[in-house]
Amino acid sequence: MAELFDAASKIALIPHKPGCYIMRDKRGRIVYVGKAKDLKNRVRNYFQSSGDPRLFVARLPKILGDIEVIITANEKEAMILENTLIKAHKPRYNVQLKDDKNYLSLRINTRHEWPRVDVVRHQKKDGARYFGPYHSAKAIRQTLNILNKYFQLRTCTDSVLNHRVRPCLQYQIKRCPAPCVFEVDKEAYDQHVREAILFLEGRGDELLDSLKARMYQASEDMEFERAANFRDQIISIQRALERQMAVTAERVDRDVIGYWREGERLTIQLLFVRAGKLEGTRAFSYKQQEFPDHELISSFLNLYYAAGNFIPKEILVPVELEESELAAYEELLSELKGQKVSVIHPQRGAKRALISMATENAKSSFESEHDKEERTQDLLESLQERLGLSHYPERIECFDISNFQGKQIVASMVVFEGGVPNKNEYRRYKMREVTSQDDFASMHEVLTRRFSKVASGEDAAPDLVVIDGGKGQLAQAVAVVQDLGIHDVDVIGLAKSRVDKVGFGDDEVTRSPERVFLPGRKNPVVLKQNSAEIFLLERIRDEAHRFAITFHQELRRKETLKSSLDDIPGVGPATRKDLLRHFGSLRKIKTATLEELKDVPGVGPKMAETIFGWFR
């Protein structure tokens, strides 16, 4: 029987100070990171015999091997440290952002002589006006289409604006007055900029009143074509504004957090309210989340906004956090945003209604994800039954070899867990022993390197291994796992379809179906074509092929760059690096003028002349 963790002795050594605590399992792996205003009290809460119904509370003494603490000066520093530790170690029981990318925003620099609408991913403190973020490509395309069609702002970059000698197509179709070439009424252009800002701010009433006044004036001046343009603009803007759902009378930017939880499965939902209107939602689904609600929501809050996502003026949270913790979050987020940010747990009224809306959305996303998982489970169970696998294929690893005429031989390993790719587990290999084109030997080497870690206990074994190839490649895989003493891993080979009949006398060319080869079986298994099972295997195989080809192309590209520049007399690694950093590609280096080459830091006039002459 495993020895239980001695919590009392450990807690006795923990001080009453703010900081982070790190829970490790008996193998030394970090399984949870938390923060606290009082470390001793927080950790002690996990082990008090208070009849806590949560399963993980009873399991902690069995799974824990140690608890470490890191003391900080205050709660804000503890939050920053928690974020760093979670990102670095990815603990099993912490919520983690699977996709912490920044969404696109629109930017207008009103200080420019001729402002334009830029699409940017990061909002900076540069004095420009930012709008968004937009949480779907469709939303930002619709907005840009209206802006470009009706507000007649330039779309070209500053470089093009300053060097163009004749107007572009946008001028021809009356979507830009072409300030790059012609004398343009600055006051009229600025009016278009102000109206575009009103539209992006959602101030539809003010914008429509202004456009209607200008439409009536154009009509009175008998400029009927211009009046018709205003009319079309008004109709399009009204339609765009109608699509936005008003959820509050206050013109405030808010993020609203809701969640739905059943056991260890959790879905967190974000509602994005901009200027009082709901602009989008985003759901985050997690498993194995057994810690208290307020800790999980608190960690999510910390991770999400520290990742560089847009920070609104108000963030509504669904659980009650300690007053000092709320204050620390407000201080931290205000520093990140550069202005006051409020974190609120509403009890009643319109803000509480927003929390309820977010919770309903979280429940809907939870149920949708659950249905999707059930379908995936059915698919994997069907695959197990059809191929006679000894294990349910929760984790599938697929291997592929790529080379070009025996050069730059590489291999890829892609991982699918629960029927979906887990790109954090992908691996790429360069051959160490195989130096010529030999797919069998290459497969033997890469599988030996992978499964040696399984045999030593360093890595866990997959449930199913898929080899891209037929009997020969499969035999190599079976030999490797048997030689290493691994007997509980299913291995199959997936052979591509091939041409069955071709020739001058044939009426048509036919292809064989995809075939699955199994160890110890002479004839392959032919799964029903276009079935979900064969589609999944093909998707895994194609992903391994794509990953291997990408790596191979990357190595060839680097080799080409290196050899092309290293052939130039006097150009060494440092100069090559300076050139590539400055120009970005070999093509631009080859086409650069002599003056452009002289401008490269680290490249003198004499070297610039040598490089210029070499490529000519």
Candidates 3.30.420.340, 3.30.930.10, 3.30.565.10, 3.40.50.300; CATH matching 395-537: 3.30.420.340
Which of 44, 39, 34 lies closest to 17 in space, CA to CA? 39
pLDDT of amino acid 55? 59
CA atoms within 13 A on the CB side of 187: 0
Distance separating alpha carbons of residues 181 and 269, to the nearest angstrom = 49
Per the DSSP assignment, residues forming a β-bridge with 71 are: 19
| Cross-strand bridge partners of residue 257 | 270
**For 397-423, what is each residue's pLDDT tens digit?**
999 888 765 567 888 899 999 888 998
Q: What is the DSSP string of 207-237?
A: HHHHHHHHHHHHHHTT-HHHHHHHHHHHHHH
Class of domain 7-89: alpha beta
Measure the CA–CA gap between 611 and 272, rounded to whole angstroms.
Answer: 53
Q: What share of the chain is helix, strand, coil (3-state, %, to 5)?
A: 45, 20, 35
Spell out the residues 6+ positions from residue 385 whose beta carbon is closer than 8 angstroms to its own.
none
Alpha helices by DSSP H, listed for 90-157, are: 137-150
The Cα–Cα gap between 183 and 362 comes to: 54
Task: Mention the CATH class of domain 254-368.
Answer: alpha beta
Q: Where are the beta strands (DSSP E) in 196-330?
A: 245-246, 254-262, 265-274, 277-286, 314-316
* Strand, helix or coil for residue 507: coil
Among 77, 72, 18, 25, residue whose Cα is nearest residue 43? 18
Q: Are 161 and 154 in contact (CB under 8 A)?
A: yes
For residue 473, give both structure tokens. Answer: 């490649």
* CATH code 1.10.3730.10 for 567-614: no
| pLDDT tens digits along 51-101 | 555 556 667 777 788 899 999 989 989 999 998 999 888 888 888 876 555
Supply 192's token pair.
């278009």
* Range list for CATH 3.30.420.340 in the chain: 395-537
The 3-state DSSP class for residue 267 equals: strand
Q: Please report, in angstroms and rounded to a whole number, the separation of the first and last CA atoms in the chain.
A: 77
Residue 182, both tokens: 């012609």
- Reading the block at residue 133, the tokens are 């973020």
CA 275, 279, 284, 289 torsion-angle sign: positive
Find out whether 264 and 68 touch, Cβ atoms under 8 Å: no
d(CA 473, CA 466): 10
Rounded to whole angstroms, how far apart are CA atoms 198 and 249?
A: 17
Q: Omega before 18 cis (within 30°)?
A: no
Q: What is the pLDDT of residue 1?
A: 46
Residue ranges of the chain that CATH labels 3.40.1440.10: 7-89
Tokens 């939880």 correspond to 261
Which part of the chain has CATH 1.10.150.20? 567-614
Note whether 253 and 316 are within 8 A (CB): no
Q: Which pLDDT belongs to residue 195?
A: 85
Report which of 14, 119, 120, 2 is spatially closest to residue 62, judged by C-alpha positions.
Answer: 2
Query: pLDDT tens, 545-572?
Result: 898 888 777 776 666 555 567 667 777 7
How far is the C-alpha of 117 from the C-alpha of 128, rounded, in Å? Answer: 11
Write the burial class of residue 230 (CB in 10 Å: 0-12 exposed, 13-18 middle, 19+ buried).
buried
Query: Coil, helix or strand for 600?
Result: coil
| 290 Rama sector, left if φ>0, alpha if ψ -120 to 50, beta otherwise | alpha
Strand partners, 464: 396, 490
315 Cβ contact list (under 8 Å, min separation 6): 254, 255, 257, 301, 305, 333, 341, 342, 343, 344
- Phi and psi at 184, nearest 5°, equal -115, 140
In sequence order, the 6+-apart residues with CB closer than 8 A to the CB of 240 are: 142, 143, 146, 199
pLDDT < 70 positions in the chain:
1-3, 49-58, 98-102, 135-136, 241-249, 404-407, 497-512, 556-564, 566-567
Beta strands 407-417 and 395-404: pairing type? Answer: antiparallel
Can you say how many angstroms the Cα of residue 526 is from the centroid of all Cα atoms in its chain? 36
